[in-house]
Amino acid sequence: MHIPDGFLDVKTAVVTSAASLAALKCSMAKVKEQLGERDVPALGVTAAFIFAAQMVNFPVMAGTSGHLLGAALASTLFGPYGASLVLSAVLIVQCLFFQDGGITALGANILNIAVAGPFVANWVYGFVKRWSDQVAVFLSAWVSVIVGALLTSAELALSGTVPMKAVVAPMVLVHAAIGIGEGIITCAAVAYVRNFFRGEMK
């Protein structure tokens, strides 16, 4: 889902970069209000975990593979604002040091994965958790992947790289399968973290 250089036109790159900068500025202000100094190391540990987890790919279909995005995981643990900063840090490091996603497309990748993903995941989790927490975690992870795929498709289409009708179906189909893996990993990770902190509190 990480868009490389050369796939977005100038206007799309500029607009998505501006939107991402505005969202990150808001997230920084909200994190200062909502999280204390004791939460900062936890944010760093989560960023390191997501970064490492994204290096592990799992097979999906027809030679394609997926990896953890982490939007729902970070959002469930720290809320959407904290998650946005965590994922942005991961995407920036991946882009600058591992060439995973282009520099000119960094704003779009942050918007799709680090901004839209956590906020959509947070909304889905909040809506579904009244019936089942585990189902809420799974669906929030799955939907965050689909939303990222749809935004990526729209940005490629707006840039004239590929027609929307030609890209959206394959993107959604592949990422619907990736989202299942995302949901399973997220459920396991959230359960582990919650059990760990329950043990620490005893």
Please name the helix (run of DSSP H) or strand (run of DSSP E) that holds residue 58, with its range, or none. strand 58-59
112 and 8 Cβ atoms separated by less than 8 Å: no
161-178 pLDDT, tens digit per residue, is: 889 988 888 888 888 988
Q: Please state, rounded to an integer, the average pLDDT across all residues of the chain.
A: 86
Rounded Cα gap, residues 92 and 95, in angstroms? 5
108 and 12 Cβ atoms separated by less than 8 Å: yes
Question: Domains in the chain, please, with CATH?
Answer: 10-201 (1.10.1760.20)
Token pair belonging to 45: 């540990």
8-47 pLDDT, tens digit per residue, is: 999 999 999 999 999 999 999 998 887 766 677 778 888 8
Strand-pair partners of 66: 58
CA distances from 40 to 23, 35, 99, 131, 196 (A): 19, 8, 27, 31, 18
Local structure of residue 37 (DSSP, 8 states):
G
3 state DSSP class of 66? strand
Rounded Cα gap, residues 64 and 51, in angstroms? 20
Residue 57: per-residue pLDDT? 63
13 and 109 Cβ atoms separated by less than 8 Å: no
Q: Which of 10-14, 48-52, 139-143 has the lowest mean pLDDT?
A: 48-52
Helical segments of the chain, H only: 10-34, 40-54, 71-98, 106-109, 117-128, 133-158, 164-201
Tell me the Ramachandran region of residue 154: left when phi exceeds 0, alpha when psi lies from -120 to 50, beta otherwise: alpha
pTM of the complete model: 0.89
